[in-house]
Each structure stands twice: as C-alpha cells, then as structure tokens.
Structure 1
Amino acid sequence: MNLALLGFIMIIVFMVLIMTRKMSALIALIIVPTVFALIGGFYAGLGKYMLEGIETVAPTGIMLTFAILYFGVMIDAGLFEPVINQIIKIVKGDPVKIAIGTVILASLVALDGDGTTTFIITVTAMMPLYKKIGMSLYVLSTLALLSIGVMNMLPWGGPTARAISALHLSTEDVFIPIMPAMAAGILFAFVVAYILGKRSKRHITSATDIDIEDVKKEETKEESLLKRPKMLIPNAFLTVSLIVCLVMELLPIPALFMVWFGVAILINYPNLSIQNSVVKKHAGDVLAVISLVFASGIFTGIMDGTKMVDEMATALVHIIPDAMGNHFALITAILSGPFTYFMANDPFYYGILPILAESAEQFGISKVAMARASVLGQPLHVLSPLYAAGYLLVGMLDIEYGTNQRIVIKWAIGSSLFMILIACLFGIIPW
C-alpha cells in the first residue's frame, strides 16, 4: 500500500477512535500506529522506531515531570492565591467576565511561550470559579488553548524560531510584521470568550456575585500545613526568574525545571519527610501526563521511522498545481495548521517548509513571506496529539481528551483562518 495513503488512513482512524471515545488517547497512541506499521510490513524495524520516538520525547517528559512538581510546590505554598483572589474580585459571578478573564490571564502567562506554565497557572486560578458557578470546564480549555495557540508564535515559543533558523532569516523580518496577525488572534479569543460566556450565562440561573470564600475549597489539615505565606515574595521571585531563564534559554528547559524544583522544595519544605509527601501528592498528576507523552513517542517514532510522515508531506506538496504558484504563501498558511497537527513542529519547519519555500521562490515569493505564513496555523497545532502540554491541560481539568478535541477544533480553525485573513489584508503575506 502507498505509504502516504497508509499514513492518512492511520490519522483518520486515530482521530475517529478518540473523538468517538471508542479508545482512550493513551491506548490509541500506542495501538493504532503499531497496527498500521504491521500492515505496512515494518515488523523488522518496529522496536527500533518505537525506542527512537520515545527518546525524542524524553526531554519533554522530563520537563513536564519537573514543571508539574515545581508548580505543585508553588500551588501548595500558596503563591497564586493573591492572583486568584484579585481575579475573583474583578469577575465576580459573571460568566462573560470569567471567560474574558481567562483569556487575559492565559495570554499574559503565555508571554513566556510555554504551554505548560500557561495551563498550570490558568487552570489553578480559574477552575475553582468555573466549578463554583457551573461553567463547563471545556470553555476554560477552549480559551486557554486559543490563547496559547497565538502566543506560541512568539520567537521564543518555538515555531517562529524554527522557521527563522530553517530558512536562515532574521527575527525582525519575520516576527515584527506578524504582530498584527497575533493581535487579531487574541481579539478572536476575546470574541469566542464573549460568545461562550453568553452561552454559559443562559444556562446558569444562579449567577450571583461570588466572594473569595465561595471558591475556596475547604482545606485539609495537610494542605493547611503546606501553606507558606511568608515565602510569597521569595517564591514569586523564583518563578519570575524561572520564566526569564526560559525566555533567555540559559539552560535546556528540562534542566531549568529540575534545578528550580530542587531549589523550590528545599526553601519551602526543608524537612525531608514533608518533601517526600509533596512529591507523592503530585505523583498521580505526573503519571497521567507523562504516560501520554511517552505514548505519543511511539506514535511519532513509527510515523518518522516508517517514513510515513515524509510521504504524506510530499503527497500534499505535489497536490499544489503550478497554476496556484502565485498563492504559495496563502496555501502554506492554510496547510500549516493540518501539517503541524499531524506531525511535530520539527519535521514541518525543518523538513517541509524549506521545500515549500524553495518552490515558492520560483514564483517570486520570498522566504520571509513563507516563514510568516508557516506560523499562522499554530492554533490548530496546540490541539495536536503530539503537543504534550495539551495532555497536561486535559489532565488538570479532568475532562475527556476526544470530547475536548471535538469542541475546540472549530474555534482553533477559526482563529487560524482569521489570522490568515488579517495577514493577507495587511500585506504580511502575499495572496
């Protein structure tokens, strides 16, 4: 069977299984690619491909492990309580204000370009409000994903840096011009927040003012003992320094989270037995996320090892007729969403984008324009089963992965298309 066709069928089967809840994401990520690799006759190299994929996602797994532990310590110590209290004072019991506040908070936290940080802080701050007032946690997920989908386009977020380095361009030429499109993406998130907030308001009959005590869950004795109000300023300084170091890339991200976690738990809980209890407390959250990350390594390992992903990319590139050559940037912008959904950012930006850019130059379209176009599909990318932070979000909210995909995907596509429209109107990309 044609490898590209096999890959497309595999993706369709995978999505149908998780969206119809016939199979959990964890099991589907392992079983589906394994079955299709066997169908394609790749038994001999199957184990090798799996291990290579697991090795690829290992740094992400380590990063998420220690990010969850670090922010777990900060939450236990009470770092985010002042932020939560301030948000409650502003939004009170209005679902529209709560939804808009979610976008504001997620967008601000996402300035570090990291989905893990964004989701942990946003969910910690907003979930008690959503639960108290009866708003769907899928609304929170939708708004957090739309926010990071745009903010992920920051140069230190990953995709833009990859596009710049793959095509040997400057940050100024690529990033500065796409800022209006990013502003449009955040505006779109606010519009969605208003729509979803209004919908929630219709279904909530008891939307009254909420005070801080309303959303504070009753603390257990253990939780009270872990609070460290006197450590608020040191913990805030530690967290800000972590974000600065993440942006400046002073150390690899997994190493940063490991070191900062070590410092955080030591200064907040010098007692060894308390340290052990804190780690055990968050072990369940770590396992739920990390198991999915390593399962996604099986998926990507098989896709890469069997060359399915290469054949799929080549097939899609060849579909573009010569007559459409003058619209190469627009086509790339539209394809960047599905491309980065079905594969990791690295193979798209380092493997496919250079091919597309080379082809576009034959029609007079610059590499700079192609680089800008290539990042406009990021709202769809953050829904990808290969986007590890997405599992963290779903896990923290305790919602269904497949249902979340089905609910959020239309808004993600809308966000991307709106940014593409603005990019065309403002001349950011030629169309």
Structure 2
Amino acid sequence: MLSLLGFLMVAVFMYLIMSKRLTPMVALITIPIIFGLIGGFASGMGPMMLEGVKDIAPTAIMILFAILYFGLMIDSGLFDPLVSFILKVVKGDPLKIVVGTAVLSMMVALDGDGTTTYMITVSSLLPLYKRLEMNPLILAGIAMLSMGVMNMTPWGGASAMAMSSLNLDSSQLFLPLIPVMGFGLLWVLFVSVVLGRRERKRLGVINIKHSANEMAHADELEGTAQHLDYRRPRLVWFNFLLTVSLMVCLIMDFMSLMLLFMVAFAIALLINYPNIKDQQQRISSHANNAVAVVSIVIAAGIFTGIMSGTKMIDAMANTLVGIIPDAMGPFLPVVVAFLSAPFTFFMSNNAFYFGVLPIIAQAAESYGISAAEIGRAAILGQPVHVISPLVAAAHLLIGMVGIEFSDLQRFLIKWALGTTAVMTLAALILGVISI
C-alpha cells in the first residue's frame, strides 16, 4: 500500500510539472504534504520536512553563491579579453572559428547558466558566421554541446538536484566527475574540429583582412566593455587568478564547496565593487536567476524529507527490486547513465531527479551500489537534455541564431549521444561508476 501511494505521488508530481499545472517549487512542497496526509502521517510530517530542508541547506547555499560569483565575473568583464582574442585569432578560417566557438562557450558556461552562455557566444560570433556564410547550426550545436557538459556543475542545476534528492554533498557526487567532464570537453573539441574541417573544405579560408568587419566587431565589443559602468578591465588578472584559485581549491576539496564560494564571492565583490551601492546593484542583477534555482532546491528538502520519513522510498525501491532481473542489477549505473539521456529529454530535470532517481538509487542499494554512484551516472545524460524543447534557454538560442528547433535536433543528436557515451566510458575506466 505504501509503495502504491509513493508511485502515485511521483506520477502526480511528474504530471503536474510536465503539464505546467504547477511550478516545480509549488509541486515539490504541496504534493508530498497531500500524500503524506492521505497516508496518515500528519503528526510526524513537521519533523520530516525540517530534517529534509536541513539536509539540503548546504547545497542551496553553495548554488546561491556560485551563481552570484560567476555572474559577478561576467559583469566585471573577465571573459571580454577571451572574446576579443578569439575574434582576432580566428580571422577567416572556418576551422579556427568553430574551435573558437567551443573554447568560448566552455569558458562562459562556467557559470552554469545556459541563457548567459548562449547570449555571449552567439552575440560575439554570429557576425563571423554570417560574414563567411558558415552553417549557423554549427554555432548553435557547439554552444549546446559545451553547455551539456558544463551543466553538470553543481551550480548548473542537474548535479544540485541529484545531490538534493539523494542527500549527497559535492565531494561525493561532483568532484569524482571532474575528470569525466574533462573527457566530455575533449569530445566537444574533437567534434568542433570535425565540423570545422567540413566547413573549411566547403568554404575554404576566406581573406577578410581588408574588409575587417569582424575585427571592427571585436573592437566595438571591447570598447563597449570598457565603457560599461560595471566592467572592471583593470582587474581582469585579479579576477582570473581568483577564479583559478577557486577551481584549484574545489578540486583539492580541503573545504566545503559552500564555504569556498561564499569566501570567493565576498572577496570578488569587495575588490571589484567597493562601493556599497554598486554591490547591491550587482547582487540584484542576478537575484532572479539565483532565487529561481535555490528556491527549487530548498523546496526539494520537503519532498525528500517526506519521502524518506514516511518510508515511501523504501517501499517503492523494494517493489522495483522485485521487477529488475537479477542479472541486470550490477549494471544499473551504466543503464542509468544511458537512460538519463532520453528521460531528461522527454521530462524535466525536476521530474527525473526528484521523482525517478531516488527510487532507482534506493533499489540499487540492494545490489551493493551506492547512491553516489547512481547519482553520478544520472548526470551523464545532460548533453542530450540541453537539446530538449523543455529547456527554455534552448529556445533563446535558436531564436538568436535564426534556425528551426527540429533542424538543430537532427543535426546535433548523434554528437550529443556521443558526448554521453564518451563520458560514460570514461567514468567506467576511471572507476567513477562501476559494473
């Protein structure tokens, strides 16, 4: 009975958010409360919810300050020299332009926000693609592939949801994935070389030295950056070293990721914007994005707290274990890695990571597979997720580039699946997931 109640709750939750009857935040709070009351757990739900929110709080704080930090770096102009450099180096060579697209989108995607990544990448490079009559699908496709890998960062969304739903911290789930992401980025560079060579063969290397349309665009971009009130071009090297130091500390894992981002953000804000009014403006400019993500993560604490406290998750897992063939049990991490691609394509990340993943993880424990391993596997489908029509940033991208969604999906699907396959193989080789 408890198992049936749990599966019904997940089904209702997924239906309501996929049909857009409720926002994810409202659904995560109200649906488990309703089903908890139906199950007769009214007296104990308060402590259950509080425990769930307590467990999720460090992850929510980390995401909040990560979004603010990388937003601040973009505001200060950390990536402006990179944009200008790429525009000046690639000139009229389609191969260099496509590789430059990959490098730029990877760097900008550090903030984990698809909207920002696509806006900066497309606005910087679209004039070049148009001038050389290059295939705009390549610009959109490479930006999406880069975002698919970088979206695996905890502040990108998917990892945060997986950590929240499985009650894990970044050292358990995200840090082991960093080298795997490295292989994913190498694959993106490989794809950019392949597509760039095709364009070079089709178009040749075009001499645009004398027309200088693109160089004028680069100079205009750089000039604009210099005159924006919140740009800090003189602090580029400081911001670069601070960001590198943050990444090194993150990999060394000598301090909580939450604390690292809090300290780094405080330093960056104080040095770049010593005036209190400027500080408030910079924080306000990123508040919408931060609140949208963090509120969902905190709300997930109620969902996971009730699921765990009522033992619904245990009952559902026992039912699932009874269905899974014993021979398939040890292969669950690989199965989850590949299933996460279509699952997160056809349903939102919220539905998959909060509705489906906890059940699979609980069932996997029966085969001696840790929740952390299942969580890592579930993140590997993100390169396919980003090309889903359910992702709002994807619609912004196709609108800016001027292409059809169906054309982009047909063009990109094999490369996106290839990214997931490469990272899954790398995860197996490196022992991040096992069979």
Q: TM-score scaled by structure 2?
A: 0.63
RMSD: 5.7
Contact 1:372 1:429 in 2 (8 A): yes
CA distance in 2, matches of 1:420, 1:22: 35
Q: What displacement does 1:424 show? A: 9.3
Contact 2:83 2:104 in 1 (8 A): no
1:239-296 Cα offsets, whole Å, 9 max, x none, are: 1001101111121111111111111111112223322332233323322222222122
Matched, 1:39 2:11: no
CA distance in 2, matches of 1:245, 1:41: 47
CA distance in 1, matches of 2:428, 2:266: 47
CA distance in 1, matches of 2:96, 2:360: 38
Q: CA 1:422/1:291 → structure 2, altered by over 3 Å: closer, same or farther?
A: closer
Matched, 1:12 2:11: yes
Aligned match of 1:264 in 265, 268, 277? 268
Q: TM-score scaled by structure 1?
A: 0.64
1:55 is paired with a residue whose SS is: helix
Aligned to 1:27: 26
Give 1:201-216 correspondences, 5 Å limit: 213=217, 216=221
Q: What displacement does 1:312 show? A: 2.4
Aligned to 1:378: 379
Give 1:302-313 correspondences, 5 Å limit: 302-313=306-317
Contact 2:17 2:24 in 1 (8 A): yes
1:226 is paired with a residue whose SS is: coil
Contact 1:143 1:189 in 2 (8 A): no
Counterpart of 1:301 in structure 2: which amino acid?
A: G
Q: CA 1:286/1:318 → structure 2, altered by over 3 Å: closer, same or farther?
A: same
Aligned match of 1:318 in 322, 328, 336? 322
Matched, 1:249 2:253: yes
Give 1:217-256 correspondences, 5 Å limit: 224-256=228-260
2:380 is paired with a residue whose SS is: helix
Matched, 1:126 2:121: yes
CA distance in 1, matches of 2:49, 2:126: 40
1:338-387 Cα offsets, whole Å, 9 max, x none, are: 699445999789865553138xxxxxxxx9xx998884443247999xxx
Greater CA drift, 236-245 or 421-430: 421-430
Q: CA 1:228/1:304 → structure 2, altered by over 3 Å: closer, same or farther?
A: same
Unaligned runs of 5+ in 1: 199-207, 359-366, 385-389
Q: CA 1:150/1:284 → structure 2, altered by over 3 Å: closer, same or farther?
A: closer
CA distance in 2, matches of 1:274, 1:287: 20
Aligned to 1:72: 71
Q: CA 1:8/1:45 → structure 2, altered by over 3 Å: closer, same or farther?
A: same
Aligned to 1:48: 47
Aligned to 2:2: 2
Greater CA drift, 260-269 or 374-383: 374-383
Matched, 1:355 2:366: yes
1:381-406 Cα offsets, whole Å, 9 max, x none, are: 7999xxxxx99x9699799xxx9xxx
Unaligned runs of 5+ in 2: 131-135, 163-167, 199-207, 344-348, 399-404
Contact 2:384 2:417 in 1 (8 A): no
Q: What displacement does 1:129 show? A: 4.8
Counterpart of 1:128 in structure 2: which amino acid?
A: S
Q: What displacement does 1:73 show? A: 2.2
Counterpart of 2:312 in structure 1: which amino acid?
A: M
Aligned match of 1:299 in 297, 303, 307? 303
Contact 2:86 2:100 in 1 (8 A): yes
CA distance in 1, matches of 2:62, 2:253: 14
Counterpart of 2:240 in structure 1: which amino acid?
A: A
Aligned to 1:57: 56
Q: CA 1:79/1:109 → structure 2, altered by over 3 Å: closer, same or farther?
A: closer
Q: CA 1:350/1:231 → structure 2, altered by over 3 Å: closer, same or farther?
A: same
Contact 1:285 1:396 in 2 (8 A): no
Aligned to 1:201: none
Count of paired positions: 383
Q: CA 1:303/1:378 → structure 2, altered by over 3 Å: closer, same or farther?
A: same
Contact 1:317 1:356 in 2 (8 A): no
CA distance in 1, matches of 2:427, 2:61: 37
Q: CA 1:264/1:35 → structure 2, altered by over 3 Å: closer, same or farther?
A: same
1:225 is paired with a residue whose SS is: coil
Counterpart of 1:247 in structure 2: which amino acid?
A: I
CA distance in 2, matches of 1:31, 1:193: 48
Q: CA 1:39/1:190 → structure 2, altered by over 3 Å: closer, same or farther?
A: farther
Aligned to 1:203: none
2:368 is paired with a residue whose SS is: helix
Counterpart of 1:10 in structure 2: which amino acid?
A: M
1:80-130 Cα offsets, whole Å, 9 max, x none, are: 1122334455778999998876655566788xxxx7558698457425358
CA distance in 1, matches of 2:244, 2:88: 24
Q: CA 1:194/1:292 → structure 2, altered by over 3 Å: closer, same or farther?
A: farther
Matched residues, percent identical? 36
